[in-house]
């Protein structure tokens, strides 16, 4: 039995062309084991490892499979406490050997902060974290959301996640053990739909079944700039039209003013507006579109060709705010919808 120990700034393991494990700054330990090796030799080498500064535990996880997964299905604690602890922001996590954890917590904190910013949580949302691991993203989101739900297929990681929620006093997070797609389908069947979905899949990426489950639920944040009161038809602050559960409405507000307000205050993915009439509306829409917002709007015209002849709207077509045009006509007593690609 041979141990090779090397201090590294970074290291990784590649199997069949795929990186299956990696670390940042730390120790890389290569272990060669033969059939003739004894437990006494292992104990002697383990004793040497325990003298390394920062060593907290040593575990053994037998893996006889020929695949790209390093760890086996179980592990034995040979020395130490059998887990490590770390912080991301002000959330403390306990990590067991079979659980996945980002090896660069400093960069991870920046990444999670960006995800939290993009989520635009106000405290009223339900967040799903698929492939949640030990609950790192789930618990960060839970502190800003009404409810956070994590799904993870590794039982030890789910146990860690639940313990981490208790350890940090987070009571609005819950975790399910199972395949991400199966858990998503189960929750959807129970009419529990998310406002935000976060995914941090393994290296093989998102499975098609998971993508399909997310697409079927289509959680979207929608903002409505209802200048004439024709879209939501507000009465005493309540929309009388079915504008959707996750929709913020600015009633009787000019579009040129309302669009920037929605962009800053509601962080919508889609903004719906009534009839576009003035250049200021177009400028506000173009600015929001540059921020990644999609638009649904109405324009009175006989068709796309007529729009192209109007200076105001030809500019709108040039900046590619809209992808499609839907012309609504009535023929033979029936309403017809004609969809055209704009670019």
**For residue 142, is pLDDT > 90?**
yes
Residue with tokens 């492939």: 131
**For residue 281, is pLDDT > 90?**
no
Nearest residue to 194 via CA among 208, 215, 209? 215
The tens digit of pLDDT for each residue in 69-106 reads 667 777 788 888 777 777 777 888 777 777 777 767 77
Domains and CATH numbers, the chain: 2-81 (no CATH), 86-217 (3.40.50.150), 222-341 (3.40.50.300)
How much is the average pLDDT of 203-219?
70
Confidence of residue 290 (pLDDT cuts 50, 70, 90): confident
Task: Please say whether the beta carbons of 78 and 50 come within 8 A.
Answer: no
Q: Measured between alpha carbons, how far is 338 from 217 in angstroms, rounded to an integer?
A: 26
The confidence score (pLDDT) of residue 245 equals 62
The confidence score (pLDDT) of residue 141 equals 93
How much is the average pLDDT of 292-308?
80
**For residue 175, is pLDDT > 90?**
yes
Higher pLDDT, 158 or 6: 158
Task: Please say whether the beta carbons of 230 and 253 come within 8 A.
Answer: no
The tens digit of pLDDT for each residue in 46-67 reads 788 888 777 778 887 777 777 6
Confidence of residue 149 (pLDDT cuts 50, 70, 90): very high
Instruction: Tell me if residue 283 falls in helix, strand or coil.
Output: helix
* Residue 173: φ, ψ to 5°: -120, 140
> What is the pTM assigned to this prediction?
0.52
Q: Measured between alpha carbons, how far is 233 from 237 in angstroms, rounded to an integer?
A: 10
């Amino acid at each position: 039995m041979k141990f090779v120990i090397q201090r590294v700034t970074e290291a990784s393991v590649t199997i069949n062309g795929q990186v299956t494990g990696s670390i940042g700054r730390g120790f890389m330990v290569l272990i060669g084991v033969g059939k003739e090796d004894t437990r006494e030799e292992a104990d002697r080498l383990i004793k040497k490892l325990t003298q390394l500064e920062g060593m907290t535990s040593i575990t053994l996880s037998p893996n006889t499979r020929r695949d790209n997964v390093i760890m086996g299905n179980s592990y034995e604690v040979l020395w130490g406490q059998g887990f490590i602890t770390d912080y991301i922001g002000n959330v403390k996590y306990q990590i067991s050997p079979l659980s996945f954890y980002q090896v660069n917590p400093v960069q991870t904190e920046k990444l999670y902060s960006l995800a939290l910013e993009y989520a635009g949580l106000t405290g009223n949302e339900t967040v799903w974290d698929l492939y949640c691991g030990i609950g790192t993203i789930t618990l960060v989101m839970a502190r800003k959301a009404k409810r956070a739900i994590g799904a993870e297929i590794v039982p030890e990681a789910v146990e860690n996640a639940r313990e981490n929620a208790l350890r940090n006093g987070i009571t609005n997070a819950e975790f399910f053990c199972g395949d991400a797609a199966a858990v998503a389908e189960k929750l959807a069947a129970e009419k529990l739909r998310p406002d935000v979905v976060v995914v941090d899949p393994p290296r093989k990426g998102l499975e098609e079944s998971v993508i399909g489950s997310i697409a079927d639920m289509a959680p979207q944040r929608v903002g409505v700039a209802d200048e004439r009161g024709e879209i939501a038809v507000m009465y005493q602050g309540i929309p009388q039209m079915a504008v959707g559960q996750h929709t913020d409405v600015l009633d009787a507000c000019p579009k040129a003013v309302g669009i920037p307000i929605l962009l800053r205050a509601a962080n919508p993915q889609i903004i719906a507006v009534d009839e576009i009439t003035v250049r200021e509306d177009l400028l506000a829409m173009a600015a929001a579109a540059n921020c990644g917002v999609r638009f649904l709007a109405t324009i009175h015209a006989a068709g796309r060709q007529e729009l192209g002849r109007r200076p105001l709207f030809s500019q709108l077509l040039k900046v590619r705010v809209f992808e499609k045009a839907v012309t609504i006509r009535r023929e033979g007593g029936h309403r017809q919808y004609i969809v055209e690609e704009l670019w």
